[in-house]
């Protein structure tokens, strides 16, 4: 009678809770989508930055030519004259996803353009990512923690920064794939179902297709398996969760052309194979232990150890010799720069020069994950009580991602989901304690129902009391911890409910304190929301291809980049080659549709060093280099007139360093005066004569008569000079992009050159038309 009432009450509460969570999740999705739309509202629906333009161009090609041409595409419009095999060097996940969405929508007669689909892919997938976070945290701690973690992830600024509308980059899809793969792994670990193991492998395949950061997964999961084995949590569910993933995952990873045989041959994957072998050994040991009597097992152990250790050492020696024979010990440059933060600055200046690869400063932690930074430790503690497989995984995830985020700013993105999960756990545990305290101390009818519920729980727990006290927590804690954090009866689970009952007795705080604490937590959440919205609106929504600034007479819009690319596409031949620093390569090929020499892919250091040397050399040498590469136009970005700080003069030292790394006649100290980089009258003659200086400051003195550079805040050194081998063809409105054309070879070296172009018979023997001087000798 009373039991049936409470059971129908609980079903009603279950149903109500489910409906409520569904609507909350829907709202979280809408929130995640809409907070990323600031750039579309403030500027326009345009693709941001540099890398997304390449992805956009590839998606355009895919939608126009179909998948077979895309898979076999050899792009001859970049890295002239080398070209680039797009099919084999790009992670296809993002473009295939957007292409599929476009194709589905178009076949349903919803005529969205490719650009619109590309711009809005990231917000849609961030909504999906927050739902995946809900699922993952629900597996770890329960639905309440799941909802909190999902709403935190929907707004966390570090994820927003890489997934605003218009940021069409790999991370937009990859973070969703990462969280979803982790969710399926934990689900397999909790349930031991081979079905989820299959899904896990397929989700891992999607992650490998999307981002180079998949190596994080294939190293974190083996680390977690090893941790479980070492802490005595081996179970057959662990085997089912891990072993099929390794085999299927390796196969699926080798299917992706960009990974190929690296899936079995590089050190990044060796950890998974090692743990594969270890888990088989452990499984065999457990099986034999279960089958034999203890005495026989001891005998078996001594026998096997003596023989097995010898074999083991031999195998490890062979492996170590193989690995040590390669100069980088089998790791790729990028992975090495993650493991040893100083590696890149010593050996690979290109990786070191990217601003996203610098270590983050302390304020950037607070900017990017805000309040979560101090909720995470509370979450870690909450994960320890009780410690299950899933919560140990989350703890390992946060620890490793905190380390990697300390190496590179870009990897704060991997930290964000872990921080959200742990903060969600912490917040929901805190809310649970406080609401429980309030509920137990509120006067009125609620006490009676709670008392009866409490009696039920206490009765059943008394019965299980003795049994539960004897055997320790191992078995029960490995069960799926599906504590639902809503206001309903807890089903009597054996051991934890005793502890929680005891804890309930201990952790009921005074009424006023808990009300105050709940209010403070709500304020904390409010500050978080305010900060996230501000960060999304002001800091992370700039498309960086269009700049704005507020001044006393209103809003100024600097659209110089698109102006320059439009000029290039309208006023040059289709086959003309444009040389610029590698930052602008993707944008030039995507928007101006011209062949470039180097672009953001930076796969060929020597080619980039060639361009860097050309920019650092005097005019004639630079002309020779560019002529040998068939370049017609040179593009430089100059911010001195308007104060745009990321221009080529500020990047120039990197050009010198990279060029000097390959061509030793370029020496960085030649461009510095007393170790300082200057462009004013104290600058070195090498600096004042180099191509970059000349192309940036040609006719700059005509603007204000004094040639005051607003970025460097000085007057420039050499103000009046003429260009001999280049001619200026276009400068944008705010002088931000300047395009120069290579002057054709003179017919005669000496004598009057202006009048006749007719070929005279008395050509000088020094005419170097047929015999070009090789600048490398």
Please calculate the CA angle 421-221-151 and round it to the nearest 5 degrees.
15
Q: Is 192 in the site for another protein (CB under 8 A)?
A: yes
Which of 280, 767 has the CB closer to another protein? 280
Q: Among 61, 103, 234, 239, which residue interacts with another protein (rule: CB under 8 A)?
A: 239
Which of 257, 454 has the CB closer to another protein? 257
Torsion of Cα atoms, 431 then 437 then 443 then 444, to 10°: 60
Q: Is 394 in the site for another protein (CB under 8 A)?
A: no
Which of 261, 720 has the CB closer to another protein? 261
The least distance separating another protein from the CB of residue 478, rounded to whole angstroms, comes to 8
Torsion of Cα atoms, 620 then 621 then 623 then 628, to 10°: 140
Residue 549 DSSP symbol: E
Q: Is 373 in the site for another protein (CB under 8 A)?
A: no
| CA pair distance 393, 422, nearest whole angstrom | 11
| CA pair distance 771, 752, nearest whole angstrom | 22
Q: Is 201 in the site for another protein (CB under 8 A)?
A: yes
The DSSP bridge pattern shows strands 554-558 and 547-551 to be antiparallel
The least distance separating another protein from the CB of residue 630, rounded to whole angstroms, comes to 38
Q: Do 621 and 603 touch, CB atoms closer than 8 A?
A: no
Q: Among 101, 264, 323, 629, which residue interacts with another protein (rule: CB under 8 A)?
A: 264
Please state the separation of Cα 284 from the chain's center in Å: 39
Q: Among 6, 235, 435, 747, which residue interacts with another protein (rule: CB under 8 A)?
A: 235
- Contact window for another protein (CB under 8 A) among 172-180, 246-254, 586-594, 741-749: 246-254
The least distance separating another protein from the CB of residue 330, rounded to whole angstroms, comes to 17
Site string for another protein, 151-190 (x = CB under 8 A): ----------------------------------------
| CA pair distance 286, 476, nearest whole angstrom | 19
Q: Is 319 in the site for another protein (CB under 8 A)?
A: no
Which of 30, 284 has the CB closer to another protein? 284
The least distance separating another protein from the CB of residue 683, rounded to whole angstroms, comes to 55
- Contact window for another protein (CB under 8 A) among 32-40, 97-105, 220-228, 297-305: 297-305
Please state the separation of Cα 92 from the chain's center in Å: 16
Q: Among 118, 124, 164, 240, which residue interacts with another protein (rule: CB under 8 A)?
A: 240
Which of 201, 656 has the CB closer to another protein? 201
Q: Is 258 in the site for another protein (CB under 8 A)?
A: no
Which of 79, 204 has the CB closer to another protein? 204
Number of residues that bind another protein (CB under 8 A): 34
DSSP 445-508: HHHHHHHHHHHHHHHHHHHHHHHHHHS-THHHHHS------SSSPPP--HHHHHHHHHHHHH--
Q: Among 89, 236, 482, 681, which residue interacts with another protein (rule: CB under 8 A)?
A: 236
| CA pair distance 391, 228, nearest whole angstrom | 11
The DSSP bridge pattern shows strands 737-742 and 726-731 to be antiparallel
Query: Which two structure tokens, joined as six digits, stand for 291?
Result: 């089958």
Please name every residue paired with 490 in a beta bridge, in sequence order, or none if there are none: none
| CA pair distance 247, 683, nearest whole angstrom | 60
- Contact window for another protein (CB under 8 A) among 150-158, 231-239, 404-412, 740-748: 231-239
Q: Do 738 and 638 touch, CB atoms closer than 8 A?
A: yes
Q: Which of 658, 643, 646 is nearest to 611 (CA)?
A: 658
- Contact window for another protein (CB under 8 A) among 226-234, 247-255, 516-524, 615-623: 247-255
**Residues 38-77 close enough to bind another protein by CB under 8 A:** none
Q: Is 195 in the site for another protein (CB under 8 A)?
A: yes
Q: Is 247 in the site for another protein (CB under 8 A)?
A: yes
Q: Among 288, 354, 380, 515, which residue interacts with another protein (rule: CB under 8 A)?
A: 288
Long-range contacts of 435-440 (CB under 8 A, 24+ apart): 435/487, 435/514, 435/518, 436/504, 436/507, 436/508, 437/507, 437/508, 437/509, 437/510, 437/511, 437/513, 437/514, 438/511, 438/514, 438/515, 438/518, 439/487, 440/504, 440/508
CA-based R_g, the chain, Å? 32
Which of 236, 549 has the CB closer to another protein? 236
- Contact window for another protein (CB under 8 A) among 102-110, 284-292, 505-513, 618-626: 284-292
Q: Is 261 in the site for another protein (CB under 8 A)?
A: yes
DSSP 202-239: HHHHHHHHH-TTHHHHHHHHHHHHHHHHHTT---HHHH
Q: Is 292 in the site for another protein (CB under 8 A)?
A: yes
Q: Is 274 in the site for another protein (CB under 8 A)?
A: no
Which of 150, 207 has the CB closer to another protein? 207
Q: Among 244, 257, 406, 492, which residue interacts with another protein (rule: CB under 8 A)?
A: 244
Q: Is 548 in the site for another protein (CB under 8 A)?
A: no
Q: Is 299 in the site for another protein (CB under 8 A)?
A: yes
- Contact window for another protein (CB under 8 A) among 25-33, 129-137, 296-304, 441-449: 296-304
Q: Is 507 in the site for another protein (CB under 8 A)?
A: no
Q: Is 532 in the site for another protein (CB under 8 A)?
A: no
Q: Do 43 and 562 touch, CB atoms closer than 8 A?
A: no
Q: Among 85, 243, 387, 701, which residue interacts with another protein (rule: CB under 8 A)?
A: 243
Q: Among 19, 41, 281, 303, which residue interacts with another protein (rule: CB under 8 A)?
A: 303
Q: In 3-state terms, what secondary structure has residue 727?
A: strand
Helical packing angle, 445-470 and 494-506, nearest 10°: 130
Residues that bind another protein (CB under 8 A): 192-195, 197-198, 201-202, 235-237, 239-240, 243-244, 247-248, 250-252, 254-255, 261, 264, 283, 288, 290-293, 296, 299-300, 303
């Amino acid at each position: 009678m009373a039991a049936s009432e409470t059971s129908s009450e609980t079903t009603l509460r279950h149903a109500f809770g489910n409906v409520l969570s569904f609507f909350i999740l829907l709202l979280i999705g809408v929130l995640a989508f809409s907070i990323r739309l600031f750039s579309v509202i403030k500027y326009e629906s345009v693709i941001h930055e540099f890398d997304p333009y390449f992805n956009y161009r590839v998606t355009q090609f895919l939608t126009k030519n179909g998948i077979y041409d895309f898979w076999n595409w050899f792009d001859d419009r970049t890295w002239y004259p080398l070209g680039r095999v797009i099919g084999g060097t790009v992670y296809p996940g993002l473009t295939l996803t957007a292409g599929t969405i476009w194709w589905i929508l178009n076949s349903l007669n919803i005529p969205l353009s490719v650009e619109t689909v590309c711009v809005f892919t990231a917000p849609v997938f961030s909504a999906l990512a927050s739902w995946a976070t809900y699922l993952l945290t629900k597996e770890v701690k329960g639905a309440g923690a799941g909802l909190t973690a999902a709403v935190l992830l929907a707004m966390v600024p570090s994820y927003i920064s890489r997934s605003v509308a218009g940021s069409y980059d790999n991370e937009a899809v990859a973070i969703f794939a990462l969280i979803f793969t982790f969710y399926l792994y934990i689900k397999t670990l909790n349930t031991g179902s081979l079905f989820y193991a299959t899904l896990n492998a397929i989700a891992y395949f999607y992650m490998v297709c999307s981002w180079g950061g998949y190596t994080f997964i294939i190293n974190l999961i083996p680390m977690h398996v090893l941790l479980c084995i070492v802490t005595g949590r081996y179970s057959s569910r662990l085997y089912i969760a891990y072993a099929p993933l390794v085999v299927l995952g390796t196969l699926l990873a080798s299917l992706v052309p960009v990974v190929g045989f690296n899936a079995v041959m590089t050190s990044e994957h060796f950890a998974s194979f090692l743990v594969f072998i270890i888990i088989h050994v452990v499984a065999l040991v457990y099986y034999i232990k279960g089958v034999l009597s203890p005495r026989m097992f001891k005998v078996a152990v001594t026998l096997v150890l003596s023989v097995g250790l010898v074999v083991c050492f031999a195998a490890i020696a062979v492996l170590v010799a193989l690995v040590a024979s390669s100069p980088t010990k089998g790791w790729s440059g990028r992975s090495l720069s993650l493991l040893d933060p100083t590696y890149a600055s010593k050996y690979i200046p290109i990786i070191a020069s990217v601003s996203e690869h610098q270590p983050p400063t302390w304020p950037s932690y607070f900017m990017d994950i805000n309040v979560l930074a101090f909720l995470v430790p509370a979450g870690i503690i909450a994960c320890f009580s009780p410690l299950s497989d899933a919560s140990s995984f989350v703890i390992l995830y946060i620890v490793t991602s905190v380390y990697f985020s300390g190496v590179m700013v870009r990897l704060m993105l991997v930290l964000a989901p872990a921080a959200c999960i742990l903060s969600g756990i912490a917040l929901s545990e805190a809310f649970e304690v406080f609401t429980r305290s309030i509920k137990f101390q509120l006067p009125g009818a609620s006490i009676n129902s709670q008392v009866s519920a409490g009696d039920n729980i206490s009765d059943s727990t008394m019965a299980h009391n003795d049994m539960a006290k004897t055997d320790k927590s191992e078995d029960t804690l490995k069960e799926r911890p599906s504590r639902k954090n809503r206001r309903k009866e807890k089903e009597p689970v054996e051991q934890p409910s005793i502890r929680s009952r005891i804890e309930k007795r201990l952790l009921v705080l005074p009424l006023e304190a808990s009300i105050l604490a709940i209010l403070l937590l709500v304020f904390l959440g409010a500050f978080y929301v305010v900060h996230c919205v501000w960060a999304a609106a002001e800091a992370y929504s700039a498309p960086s291809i269009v700049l704005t600034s507020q001044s006393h007479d209103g809003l100024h819009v600097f659209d110089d980049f698109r102006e320059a690319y439009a000029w290039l596409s309208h006023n040059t031949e289709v086959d003309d080659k444009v040389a610029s620093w590698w930052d602008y390569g993707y944008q030039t090929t995507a928007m101006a549709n011209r062949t470039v020499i180097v672009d953001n892919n930076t796969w060929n250091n020597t080619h980039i060093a060639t361009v860097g040397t050309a920019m650092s050399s005097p005019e004639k040498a630079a002309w020779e280099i560019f002529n040998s590469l068939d370049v017609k136009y040179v593009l430089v970005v100059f911010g001195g007139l308007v104060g745009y700080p990321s221009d080529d003069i500020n990047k120039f030292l990197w050009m010198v360093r990279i060029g000097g790394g390959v061509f030793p006649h370029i020496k960085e100290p030649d461009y510095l005066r007393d170790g300082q980089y200057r462009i004013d009258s104290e600058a070195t003659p090498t600096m004042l004569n180099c191509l970059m200086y000349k192309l940036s400051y040609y006719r700059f003195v005509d603007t204000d008569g004094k040639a005051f550079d607003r970025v460097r805040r000085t007057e420039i050194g050499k103000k009046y000079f003429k260009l001999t081998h280049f001619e200026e063809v276009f400068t944008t409105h705010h002088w931000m992009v300047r395009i120069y054309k290579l002057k054709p070879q003179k017919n005669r070296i000496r004598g009057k050159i202006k009048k006749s172009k007719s070929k005279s018979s008395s050509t000088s023997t020094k005419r170097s038309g047929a015999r070009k001087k090789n600048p490398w000798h």
